[in-house]
Structure 1
Amino acid sequence: MSERDAIEAVDEPATVSSLVDDLRALGLTAGETVLVHASLSSLGWVCVDAQTVVDALMAAVTEAGTLVMPTHSGQYGDPAVWSNPPVPDDWIDTIRAERPPYRPETTPTRGVGAVPECFRSYPDVYRSRHPTVSFAAWGADAETIVADHGFDDGLGEHSPLASVYDRSGSVLLLGVDHGANTSLHLAEYRADIDLPRTDTVATVLEEGEPTSVTFQDIETDASDFAILGDAFEDEHDSIVRRGSVGAAETRLVPQRAMVDFAVDWFETNR
């Protein structure tokens, strides 16, 4: 969406106060634990862009709640399997050897949008240690939710996704559909389905020193997440809150119910 399109999409600019009003009308409450997936461009014209969205989300959940976002950095994945686009074969060893260590405080996000990239640098935001699928959090349980993020199975039982599940948190899909819903990856780990496993090597800082770590994950697949999400909403319509935040179609979904449904759905449909 161009800036002109963004202006034409709304009758008035989105501000912190207007976004908080929209989030409250949707059902987001103070003290809630919420995992946010957001598309800035879907909101229409936002005064001061991503910063306004982050401020509004913080104001809506308050310090009594906890705000969580994916801050993934796919640039630390295995360059041998990059496909969009692939890199030349003779670059792979150089990339592995020369890329700087992953640093939670400074490493940029990749592919998750402007809102998480803005959020990760805010004061009192904690970011997990996983070099490819980190999450950042702010609020009452922030440090606990991102602590001890396991290198192996980074979207599984020792991940911030599971911590949100344990707290009966919600998922806010702000201008995106279930194709972006990372909580469904937790269901992939829990489902009794056969998925290949891969090893990835990345450099992280441990006690201030660059350290090479090898971690193993299943090969996750989000290609059917939108279909799964539609099936969940058809069956659980009464617990899905829908509305507009700015110009963005938005859903607020109980994460535990979503993940439990997805486990059964994967076992039946994959």
Structure 2
Amino acid sequence: MYTKQDLLNQLQTLGVDPTGTLNVHISYKAIGEVEGRGDTVLDALAEYMQQGLLVIPSHTWDNVGESNPVMDVLYTPTCIGAMTEVFRKRSGVCRSLHPTHSVAALGADAEEFVSGEEHITTPCGEGGVYHKLWQRNAQILLIGVNFARNTYIHGIEEWEGVKGTISEKKTDLYVINHEGQRIYTPQYRHCAPIGSDTFPKLEPQALQEGILTMGRFGDATARFMHAVPLREMIATLLREDLQYLMRY
């Protein structure tokens, strides 16, 4: 059984900078038995990053849409796992006002980091939180999941102009902010038939180029990388073949 100290030690071994920005995608089941269960996992991540910024997705793309067009920042649950739901409700955590691809952030500049998402009209548009990850050369840590769960890559698709991943039709969606105000937040949504299922084919090259390093977090395989070199590698592939990620 893993303790919080075990998890803290593994983050250090992975090379995570505790003063930087860390974006985490996580599968709790993959970690194995932890003393204190999921709360201890979140405690370890929060404690390790207490001098930096911890960012965990709180997406609602599966439960906000045409038939249910309102995302309430306080009450709409995430659709990507229990850990994300627990984290977004923690004291001091700020959730962004994106109707489908919000994130929850904890740290000194969390409020500034998540600000402005109500003006983003695509899942990972320029000026939004995923674009800010690139601007900060943020660290990305995948715990127990592979590149298929690396939402940042969807951002790279958008910024590099890949066709066929974003709908041409706008969906009328709304966000209710912390003050109870209803804000119109129309979205051009993900529509690629393959989605992110092709993203794992990027891993061998990322490993070969030293962009991706592998380690452990509990029993889970941990994939660790930085945002800028990952974008540079994928952008080069897309400039040679814009539809590279649209094929297996």
TM-score range, shorter chain: 0.7 to 0.9
**Map of 1:124-203 to 2, 5 A cutoff?**
124-149=92-117, 150-195=119-164, 196-197=166-167, 198-203=169-174
1:114 is aligned to 82
**Residues in 1 aligned to 2:9 and 2:233: alpha-carbon distance in whole angstroms:** 30
Q: Distance in 2 between matches of 1:241 and 1:232?
A: 8
Tell me: CA distance 1:114–1:76, structure 2 relative to 1, closer, same or farther (3 Å). Answer: closer
**SS at 1:14's partner residue?**
coil
Alpha-carbon distance in 1 for matches of 2:41, 2:7: 7
User: Is contact 2:206–2:212 with CA below 8 Å preserved after alignment?
Assistant: no
**Could you say what the CA RMSD is over the residues aligned between the two structures, in angstroms?**
2.0
Equivalent position amino acid for 2:105 in 1? A
- Alpha-carbon deviations, 1:219-241, whole Å to 9, x = none? 3521211112333222x22x433
Residue 197 (structure 2) aligned to one of 209, 213, 223: 223
C-alpha separation between the residues in 2 aligned to 1:138 and 1:182?
A: 19
TM-score scaled by structure 1? 0.80
For residues 16 and 132 of structure 2, what CA distance do their matches in structure 1 show? 19
The alignment of Structure 1 onto Structure 2 pairs a total of residues equal to 236
Could you tell me how far 1:243 is from its partner in structure 2?
1.3
Greater helix percent: which structure? Answer: 1
Structure 2 segments unaligned to the other structure (5+ residues): none
Q: Which residue of 2 aligns with 1:246?
A: 218
The amino acid that maps onto 2:46 is: M
- Aligned equivalents of 1:77 and 1:260: distance in 2? 32
Deviation at 1:38, TM superposition (A): 0.6
Give 2:35's aligned residue: 47
8 A Cα contact 2:87 2:93, kept in partner: yes
Aligned: 1:14 with 2:2: yes
User: How far is 1:177 from its partner?
Assistant: 0.7
User: Is the contact between residue 190 and residue 263 of structure 1 (CA under 8 Å) also seen in structure 2?
Assistant: no
Q: How far has the Cα of 1:190 moved from its partner?
A: 1.5
1:34 aligned to which of 16, 22, 32: 22
Structure 1 unaligned runs (5+)? 1-12, 80-94
Larger Rg: 1
Given the alignment of the two structures, is residue 255 of structure 1 paired with residue 224 of structure 2, yes or no? no
Q: Is the 8 A contact 2:58 2:84 kept in 1?
A: yes
Q: Is the 8 A contact 1:202 1:212 kept in 2?
A: yes
Task: Work out the CA distance in 2 between the residues paired with 1:16 and 1:162.
Answer: 31
Cα distance change on mapping 1:212 and 1:118 into 2, 3 Å: same
How many Å apart are 1:211 and its aligned residue? 4.9
Which stretch has the larger CA shift, 202-211 or 190-199? 202-211
Q: What TM-score, normalized to structure 2?
A: 0.87
- Tell me: CA distance 1:29–1:151, structure 2 relative to 1, closer, same or farther (3 Å): closer
1:207-266 Cα shifts (integer Å, max 9, x gaps): 6344554222453521211112333222x22x4332111101112101111122122223
1:232 aligns with 2:206: yes
Question: Following TM superposition, by how much is the alpha carbon of 1:186 offset from its aligned partner in structure 2, in angstroms?
Answer: 1.0
Return 178-187 or 209-218, whichever deviates more: 209-218
Calculate percent identity across the aligned residue pairs.
28
